[in-house]
Amino acid sequence: MVSIQKLLLILTFFTSFINPTTSQPCNSYTFPHNLNYKSCKNLPVLESSLHWNYNPTTSIVDIAFKKNNARDSSWIAWAINPNSKGMLGSQALIGYRKSDGNFKAYTSSITSYATMLQEGNISFPVYDISGIYVNNSMMIFASMQLPQNMTLVNHVWQEGIVSSDGNLKSHALTGSNLQSFGTLDFNSGIISPKTGEKKMSRTIIRNVHAILNTISWGTLMPIGVILARHLKSFEGSKGSIWFHLHRACQTIALLIGTIGFGTGLYMGNHQGLHNTPHRCVGITIFTLAVVQVCVAFCLRPKKDHKYRILWNVFHLIVGYTTVVLAIWNVFKGFDIFGGDFIWRNIYGAVIGSLVLVGLILEVVTWIRLWKKNNKRTTQELGA
């Protein structure tokens, strides 16, 4: 029993050195320049803490937002959303370390999910905004004039990466970056994270979106193209199995993909998960797929029609374009959501296998065609 207690004591001792910053109480930190804050809270995610002094007479709150274990290439933000919860409409304090080593702190009003965090005025006065980066911690300081009697606020905090050209890149759309919001009462000091059911709902919808689109646009569509390209040559011109398999595969892909497309629109419009390139390419894929199906079912001329060759060219170009964009967008989606690379690697292996099968079938098809032409030439010479 004694040995177990000693072992636990040793483990506790060493654990305290593994991540000392995150376990440090917020009120134990000493700020530079003799700055003192009466109230503070460790925020539930992103290794951050908020420190403040609130004057109910003037409605002025002095804020210090501190991000621990911050890289020097990171940007940080803390914001109040006066009208709703979440990112859109937030009135933000932004800070990052510039390439010359100086720290830039400024305000930004978040009016779009595609924001570049441009500097600008926010909806209430901000005084003496500044920031520092010291000992792997990034901090923003400011004084804000809140509206009268506004003590309970919705707040948001974030971190992201500053690119080599000095632009602030979008924050990650996974894990803690989707949980960094809640409510704060400057009077009582109560911070309530709103990460329960909403977090679960976001995660479920995100996973459903990824699974449906990976299966439909990213897998079934390429399989349908391979069936149309190669099974037809094995069956001959009179065979119809390839046609029914191709049509069934692409129709199922469109039906599943439509649901996946809908979940993407929902996440963008209602949950603030928005990436402009991914969204635009997704809309393009869906549009091309719908046009392709409509043209295939309703406007396909007979084989001997004079416009059949034009229809074939159109069908081929739209089909291959849709598949290429779909594969690119699936990989883009994995990059956006981050997380475990195993799923990206598994999908890469699936696509690699389909490409390999397609190449093998292409070689076999050309060999069969070459033999067929040789046989025909021999017969003509013999005749």
CATH number of the domain that 253 lies in? 1.20.120.1770
pLDDT at 255: 93
Percent of the chain with pLDDT over 90: 26
Binding-site annotation: residue ranges for heme b:
209, 246, 278, 315
Radius of gyration of the chain (CA): 29
DSSP 139: E
The two three-digit tokens of residue 182, written as one number:
């809640």
Span 44-68, average pLDDT: 89
Span 27-44, average pLDDT: 84
Considering the domain architecture, whether residues 209 and 351 belong to the same structural domain is answered as: yes
3-state helix, strand, coil in the chain (%, to 5): 50, 20, 30
Helix 308-337 vs helix 276-298: crossing angle, to nearest 10: 150
For the cut 60, the answer to whether the pLDDT of residue 339 exceeds it is no
In a domain, 340, yes or no: yes
DSSP 383: -
Span 360-365, average pLDDT: 84
Considering the domain architecture, whether residues 234 and 139 belong to the same structural domain is answered as: no
Considering the domain architecture, whether residues 230 and 174 belong to the same structural domain is answered as: no
Considering the domain architecture, whether residues 39 and 169 belong to the same structural domain is answered as: yes
The two three-digit tokens of residue 12, written as one number:
């506790």
pTM of full prediction above 0.75 = no
In a domain, 382, yes or no: no
Query: From the CB of residue 58, how many other CB atoms can be counted at a distance below 10 Å?
Result: 11
Which of 130, 164, 195 is the last residue before a domain boundary? Answer: 195
Beta bridge partners of 74: 161
Q: What are 206-212's contacts with CB under 8 Å, separation 24+? A: 206/174, 206/267, 206/273, 206/337, 208/260, 208/263, 209/260, 209/263, 209/264, 209/267, 209/333, 210/333, 210/334, 210/337, 210/343, 211/260, 212/256, 212/257, 212/259, 212/260, 212/263
Amino acid at position 31, single letter: F
Beta bridge partners of 241: none
Instruction: Give 101: exposed, middle or buried? Use CB within 10 Å, 0-12, 13-18, 19+.
Output: exposed
Considering the domain architecture, whether residues 153 and 209 belong to the same structural domain is answered as: no
DSSP 84: S
In a domain, 278, yes or no: yes
In a domain, 86, yes or no: yes
Considering the domain architecture, whether residues 146 and 239 belong to the same structural domain is answered as: no
pLDDT at 17: 38
Which of 179, 195, 211 is the last residue before a domain boundary? Answer: 195
Considering the domain architecture, whether residues 254 and 347 belong to the same structural domain is answered as: yes
Question: What is the band of 16 on the pLDDT scale with cuts at 50, 70, 90?
Answer: very low
Binding-site annotation: residue ranges:
209, 246, 278, 315
209 vs 382, residue with greater confidence:
209
Considering the domain architecture, whether residues 242 and 361 belong to the same structural domain is answered as: yes
Considering the domain architecture, whether residues 207 and 172 belong to the same structural domain is answered as: no
Answer whether 211's CB lies under 8 Å from 192's CB.
no
Considering the domain architecture, whether residues 143 and 220 belong to the same structural domain is answered as: no
In a domain, 3, yes or no: no
For the cut 50, the answer to whether the pLDDT of residue 359 exceeds it is yes
DSSP helix/strand/coil, 44: coil
Pairwise CA distance, residues 292 & 314, whole Å: 9
Considering the domain architecture, whether residues 359 and 279 belong to the same structural domain is answered as: yes
Q: Which domain holds residue 325?
A: 200-373
Considering the domain architecture, whether residues 219 and 287 belong to the same structural domain is answered as: yes
Amino acid at position 61, single letter: V
Pairwise CA distance, residues 246 & 374, whole Å: 30
Domain containing 166 — which CATH number?
2.60.40
Total count of domains within the chain: 2
The string of DSSP codes covering 195-232 is -SHHHHHHHHHHHHHHHHHHHIIIIIHHHHHHIIIIIH
In a domain, 383, yes or no: no
Which of 175, 195, 215 is the last residue before a domain boundary? Answer: 195
Lowest mean pLDDT among 69-73, 348-352, 379-383: 379-383
In a domain, 379, yes or no: no
Amino acid at position 165, single letter: D
Q: For residue range 96-122, what is the model confidence (pLDDT) as tens digits?
A: 998 888 999 999 998 877 778 888 999
Q: For residue range 269-291, what is the model confidence (pLDDT) as tens digits?
A: 766 566 778 889 999 999 999 99
In a domain, 7, yes or no: no
